[in-house]
Structure 1
């Protein structure tokens, strides 16, 4: 009888000691709504490696592609609000999709808690090397004179690149028709082959082509010139009043995640993005890490939600 009681007591003591440790070892999941190998997947894996160490917690990347990243957000929306399930979300899912999808399946400002902003990247308008346009003004003059041929390509309909073209048309009064492709690779093939007269893409996707003389980037759309293209003016410099536009993403937790956990995650992510090896990899991708608080990320999403409302409505585009 006594040995049995001793064994039971030992087991109870072992459970008491190991239970908190097991709970602490629940993995941090970074959910990516896009296929493996893309920019957001790469960023998530860079962060997972760093957070695993800084948080002393297992960290994994879980790819849940589908429905243009909406399935991943819906999955995180439904997760326990303990800060162990996060979504790595393109900015468009926050500020564009509410205008584009009538049945979105989530409210980004009610169902998600902002954690940290991801690196930004510049967007630019480029023409084929064979184009006579040497500046954005040249291209717009050509587009005005050739309305039946004034097309621009982007990686997909409903993307920030799509609506950036709409905004450019609205600002200049020059109508340009949009062609949505299935990814940047298709757009680049069409642009290099002069099958389209222009494209709006992330500049990181075009830098090598520009250096090789295969395309010509005429302008970027950020608030200042891209560090990688110091000789290329911004649209604002050229007198176009169309609000700055950058590509960006964010990390979000389920709503009601405790503030203390959000603050811990934010600090760890901001530190990770400053690591030299992470910065070097991001630079290769044409991306720039930024510091941000959860509040700043939330404010940016709300600000751009209003910024893009008119362009989306003017396009008449709806994904539903």
Structure 2
């Protein structure tokens, strides 16, 4: 996969959830490294805008990452248009907040489907390319995979799931020349996080995190770190870097969170009843408005 100096120059990179937020920032970060971009997501017009901002060759496909048939067809179309894929970033994700007991089962399930099943479908349909190119699959996880949070059960479960999935995939593919990385990222400035901050309970819970853990990072900064990790085929990337220090002590995080939640959740509920948020951010709303799964190219 590597070429001297600029390992991604002229290579085809797939980014899911590329219409906005971290996905759009990732597209620009890989474009700056000379890659060709295949942009996948639900919002066709937004994908087209991102593609228009890139300097190198790119193409867009409107597709639901949970649709196995459409994703397999998209992978064939990417290969035909842009050539064999060398890097795939499983970035597509949605979130909802609120008490699990009051959550809408369909919304809760949809978060798992997009974040976990969608990541597996993405890896599956592009795996033939990655085997041919000895490529690299980068799974976007989260601080939520290292710890946990009340009121975010579906999101936390899905991110713990993609972490385990990526570990298993790495072990299966190591002898076949395909590298698999996991990106652990903290709060990133996206529509999803800004929408979460509109809900008092979610905003207050983040405020009770240690100061470094509650900081929100620019999407471009996070994307640049992830693209650099892809150049080096890193097994792990942490943004910010101090998240690495949580790995040895991650077993202690849930008891600490439970201790804080035992006091804070009743206090917050007395101030303002804690209710389900529905899918968060513009990406969440796009998922709610999705048509019958279809695939289309720009």
| Higher relative contact order (CA closer than 8 Å, sequence separation 6+) | 1
Indicate whether the TM-score tops 0.5: no
TM value normalised by structure 1: 0.31
More helix by share: 2
Larger Rg: 1
TM value normalised by structure 2: 0.32
